Amino acid sequence: MPLRLDAGVPGFERDFKALVEARRESDVAVAADVAAIVADVRARGDAAVADLTARFDRVDLAATGIEIGRAEIAAARCRIAPDVMAALDLAADRIRAFHEAQRPTGLDTTDSLGIRTGYRWTPIAAAGIYVPGGRAAYPSSVLMNAIPAKVAGVGRLVMVTPTPGNEINPLVLAAADLAGVDTVYRIGGAQAIAALAYGTESIAAVDKITGPGNAWVAEAKRQVFGIVGIDMVAGPSEVVIVSDGRSDPEWVAADLLAQAEHDAVAQSILITDSAAFGDAVAAAVERQLLDLATRSAARASWEAYGTIVVVADFAAAVPLIDALAPEHLQVMLDDPDVVFQGVSHAGSIFLGRHTPEAVGDYVAGPNHVLPTGRRARFSSGLGVTDFMKRTTFLGCGPAGLAAIGPAAVTLATAEGLPAHANSVRLRLQP
C-alpha cells in the first residue's frame, strides 16, 4: 500500500523528512565494470566496440556495419502508419518552435570609461545523443534531445542506439530523420558512451553527450564527464500532483500511474487537502492497475514509493513541494497560480486539470529531459543553451586601463602575484 502522511498528525515532519531523503536509485554496483569497458574502448577502438556489441546485443557489426545508413532510415519511415507519422511530425514541429524561442542573445556594450564588455553564444561543435534501443525505445526522447541541439546550431549531431538482436524501432529512426541527426550508429551501452567520448576509427569524438540510459550508461556518462560534457546523471522518474477534491479521481489515478509504469523505483506523490479524496484516488489506482499492461512495474512502484499527503491548505503544500524538488509537478486546481507562483524547485510544472504530464512528454513543446532526485534545486531541464557556450570578452583602451588598472595592480600585489601586477603596471607607464 502507498505511504499515507497527514500534516496535522504529530511526527509528520520526521516522516516527511524521511520521504524526502530516501534514495530510490537502483543499487547496482557497475562502476568497475563500466571502467573496464571504457578502458577497453579507449585502447582498442572499433574492435572493442564490435566485441562488446556482439556480447551484449548479439549483433555482428562486421556484417551489419556500425552505421545505420540513409536507405535503412528511409525504409523505416515507410513502415510507420500515417497517423503515427503525423503525430511525430506534430511533436517535432511544436518542440522545435518552443526551443527556437530559447535562442539566447549576446551582449556588447561600452561603459562610461570606454571599456568594452560583453558575451556571445556559440554552438558546441559536435554532440552525441544516446537513445535506448529495442522494443522499448522512445522516439520522443530523440526529438527532445536532438531538436534543441540543431536549434542551437550544433555542427555535427550523431546518435547511438543499441539494436539487440538486430531489432530496430522504426519510430526512433524516423524521429532522428525529422530532428536532423546527421549520423546514427547501431551501438549502445557503456561502450557507445566511451566511443562518443574518446572516438574510434569509425566514430569521431563529440564534445557533449545527452540522453537517457540504464545504470551502465549513466555510470559511463559519469566517468567520461570532464572529457566531454553531459546533460545530467538522471535517476528514476517522479511526479508530485497537487489536487483538491474537485478533480476526477480517475484522472489523478491515471496520472500517478503514468509515472509509476516507468520503473519499479519511480515515484508518484499526491498532495491534497481532502483525506476522502486521497482515499478515492487510491481506490481508482487499484481499479486501473487491474487492466494496465504495465501493471507489474506500476504496482511495484506504487506500493513501494507511492505516497498520499494530506495538508490543511495548499499554501502549506508549497514548502513540501520545494523540499521534494520534483521532476514533474502537476497543479490540478481551478487557480493553479496559488501553488505555481510560490514554488521554486521543480523540473517542469503542469498547470490545471486538463494538463497531464504525459502530454508534455510528447507534443506540448517544453523539454521532457528533466532533473530527478531533487536535482531541480540546482539544475534545469534540457534546452538550447545546453548545446551552446557563453564566451565573455573585454576591450580596454589606454584611458580605460588608466582608470581601472591601478586597482588591479593593488589587488594583484595584495594577492602576492607580482607578475600579474607588472603586466598591468607596464601599460600604465608613460
For residue 237, which amino acid is it? S
What is the pLDDT, as a whole number, of residue 170?
Answer: 94
Grid cell, residue 52, equals 562488446
Average pLDDT over residues 91-117: 98
SS (H, E, C) 130-183: ECCCHHHCCHHHHHHHHHHHHHHCCCEEEEECCCHHHCCCHHHHHHHHHHCCCE
Our answer to whether residue 99 is catalytic in this structure is no
Residues of the chain with pLDDT > 70, as a percent, come to 98
CA dist., res. 231 & res. 382, Å (int): 7
Provide the CB-side half-sphere exposure for 13 (13 A, CA). Answer: 2
For 47-63, what is each residue's pLDDT tens digit? 999 999 999 999 999 99
- pLDDT confidence bin for 259, thresholds 50/70/90: very high
Global pTM exceeds 0.85: yes
Question: Is residue 28's pLDDT more than 70?
Answer: no
- Helix then strand count (H, E) for the chain reads 18, 15
Question: Is residue 67's pLDDT more than 70?
Answer: yes
Catalytic residue among 219, 238, 327, 357: 327
Average pLDDT over residues 358-371: 96
Our answer to whether residue 328 is catalytic in this structure is yes
Q: How buried is residue 268: exposed, middle or buried, by Cβ count under 10 Å (0-12/13-18/19+)? A: buried
Question: Is residue 27's pLDDT more than 60?
Answer: no
Q: Which domains does the chain have, with CATH numbers?
A: 31-116+123-230 (3.40.50.1980), 235-377 (3.40.50.1980), 396-428 (no CATH)
- pLDDT confidence bin for 234, thresholds 50/70/90: confident
Catalytic residue among 99, 261, 262, 328: 328
List beta partners, residue 169: none
209: nearest Cα among 191, 187, 232, 188? 232
Mean pLDDT, the chain, integer: 96
For 178-222, what is each residue's pLDDT tens digit? 999 999 999 999 999 999 999 999 999 999 999 999 889 999 999
Q: Are 257 and 289 in contact (CB under 8 A)?
A: yes
Report the SS3 class of residue 212. Answer: coil
What is the pLDDT, as a whole number, of residue 29?
Answer: 82
Question: Is residue 331's pLDDT more than 60?
Answer: yes
What is the pLDDT, as a whole number, of residue 25?
Answer: 67
Question: Is residue 279's pLDDT more than 70?
Answer: yes
For 162-181, what is each residue's pLDDT tens digit? 999 998 899 999 999 999 99
Question: Is residue 135's pLDDT more than 90?
Answer: no
- pLDDT confidence bin for 233, thresholds 50/70/90: confident
133: nearest Cα among 183, 188, 197? 188
For 236-258, what is each residue's pLDDT tens digit? 999 999 999 999 999 999 999 99
- pLDDT confidence bin for 406, thresholds 50/70/90: very high
